[in-house]
Amino acid sequence: MAHLASTLNIPETLFTTNQVPSDEDSKAIDAKLAQLREEQSSLTLRLTRIEAMIACLKPIRHPIRYVPDDILGRIFEYVAPWSIAEDSFPPPDVSGELGAPWILSHVCQNWRAVCLSLPNLWSAFRVPFGKQDASRSPWFAEKMDTVYWRSEPLPLRLCVDDVSTASLPVLLKSTHRWRCIRFTSRRPSGCSQADIFHNRLFPILSHLSLIREDDSTPTNILAPSLRNLELIQTSVHCKLVVPWEQIVWHKSTNSDIEFVGYMKNLEELVMVGNYCYTEDNDNDVQDTRRITLPKVRRLEFDNRPVRYGISFPYRLFNQYHFDSLRTLIIDICDPSPCITFAFSLPSVIELSLWFQQDAAATKDVLLATPNVQSLHLQSKYGTSGLLMRPYNRFPVLGQPPSLASLHHLRHLLLTIPESGSLYIRGLHEVVTALKMDYGLPLETVSFYGGLLDVGRSMTESK
């Protein structure tokens, strides 16, 4: 304070007391304040300019500028993951609102060049690009033409929601390049599936997914390369004609299982939900004649609860015979207690069971697959119920465990639920008993589980 008082030539007591300054002192103080405010304003302006300069220079040193173009291209592919798999259905959530790669190609010249050098980024897309109406047809045509030339020479994979009548000719220009197409619209407001597919040639179409719940218009699809077919909520009365004998992979979601009988060369079958209920289903179940599908080697179920009719896993095995089946995957979500698995699958050597409730529900499946060599078990509440007898005493006199019927079992795989724990000691006793008492040739026991939360650990219990 003494230095400041000496510089301004004012009494030092003005800093240490409430003394009123004289007129001369006030003039000196006001002059100094004006000078300091002017310097402060100048410094503020300079600081603003410095911050602006930093903001301009800092991006130039950003690490993204040093990422090689090939690595950048891989990053772009993960931003648009539907572009990576060249022979699969584009997912229903594939961008249809001009997201990636459209946005990526507008960031800078280099990013645009990288995007345009990767035709796979443009070869899978959703139709339409946003809301469709007649007024947007020129815009739609422009975007489709852009996609066509940027994706060349690759085949196209489309997820079609809806197409207006005015936009249909633009879409059909590329049918010779369609490799995979997923038609997701159940009740299209524009063109029907028949408008797109009927008696039209698709020379390289190999993957097709359709929803035809209410569409009874005859649709004959000419696809000499078709091998993979997915039907969603589709009735057998929908008048759909495809080259059934060519199909080697089929996924049925809430669709009639009668379609399966059309596919004589089927090799892999995935079934989700229960079949569409028709009036003659009950009579079909009583039919003892079974159709043989000699080439099916893999069968997967997602057995959802059934509100009416008979759950399709039981009905499927009553209607079809799989004498070459090797892998069976089944989710016993809500088994019916009054229906048993009245079938035998001696050819199955790989079995995976996912059950939510009573482990006893798997008993019939295990009895139907006596030659299993590799067994995977997963349950929401753990697998101990299937391995050990009630009250954790093993074995039970007169009640051998369900696994005891698998005399060729070599590999046991257990998936541990997130909320469960691994009972090492009890499991050791079970495995020992299975090998010593029941003669199972067990060689390996493997465990799978998700990442453990912080503070959690696999614990051993008595």
259 in any annotated domain = yes
State which residues form the domain around 38: 2-61
What is the DSSP secondary structure assignment for residue 303, as one 8-state letter? B
Query: Does residue 189 share a domain with residue 46?
Result: no
Only one residue has tokens 């739609």, namely 140
Output Rg (C-alpha) for the chain, integer angstroms. Answer: 35
Residue 72 located in a structural domain: no
Residue 85 lies in a domain: no
Sequence-distant (6+) residues with CB within 8 A of 114 are: 69, 72, 73, 76
Q: Are residues 384 and 255 in the same domain?
A: yes
- Taking the model in full, what pTM does it have? 0.76
CB of 414 within 8 A of CB of 442?
Answer: no
248 shares a domain with 373: yes
Reduced to 3 states, what is the DSSP secondary structure of residue 447?
A: strand
Q: Which positions ≥6 away from 458 have C-beta within 8 Å?
A: 416, 421, 422, 449, 452
d(CA 387, CA 378): 12
Residues 262 and 375 in one domain: yes
Does 144 fall in a domain?
no
Q: What is the model's pLDDT at position 349?
A: 95
* Residue 444 belongs to a domain: yes
Q: What residues are paired with 183 via a beta bridge? A: 160
Q: Is residue 110 part of a domain?
A: no
Which has the closest alpha carbon to 113: 103, 105, 123, 121?
Answer: 105
Query: What's the CA gap between 163 and 192, in Å, rounded?
Result: 8
Pick the last residue of a domain from 36, 61, 86: 61
Whether residue 247 contacts residue 265, with contact meaning beta carbons closer than 8 Å, is answered with yes
Looking at the structure, do residues 322 and 206 belong to the same domain, yes or no?
A: yes
pLDDT number for residue 417: 67
Domain count, the chain: 2
Task: Tell me what pLDDT residue 137 has.
Answer: 67
pLDDT score at 437: 80
Q: Going residue by residue through the chain, which has 462 residues, state the pLDDT in tens, using 9 for 90 and above.
A: 677 777 777 787 888 888 888 888 888 888 888 888 998 999 999 999 999 999 988 888 888 888 999 999 999 988 888 777 777 777 666 555 567 788 899 999 999 999 999 999 898 888 765 555 545 667 778 888 888 999 999 999 988 877 777 778 888 888 999 999 988 766 555 677 888 888 999 999 999 998 875 556 788 999 999 999 999 888 888 888 999 999 999 999 888 888 999 999 999 999 887 555 444 444 444 455 778 999 999 999 886 554 444 455 667 888 888 989 999 998 765 545 444 566 788 999 999 988 765 555 677 788 888 899 999 988 765 555 556 543 344 444 446 667 778 889 999 888 876 655 556 666 777 778 778 888 889 888 887 765 444 344 444 333
Q: Which of 21, 46, 61 is the last residue of a domain?
A: 61
Phi-psi region of 391 (alpha: psi -120 to 50; beta: other; left: phi over 0): left
pLDDT for res 382: 56
405 in the same domain as 284: yes
pLDDT confidence of residue 185 = 67
Residue 95 domain-assigned (yes or no): no
Same domain, 249 and 365: yes
- Token reading at 27: 């003039």
Tell whether 134 is covered by a domain. Answer: no
Widest pairwise Cα distance in the chain: 119
**Phi/psi-derived region of residue 453, left when phi > 0, alpha when psi is between -120 and 50, beta in every other case:** beta
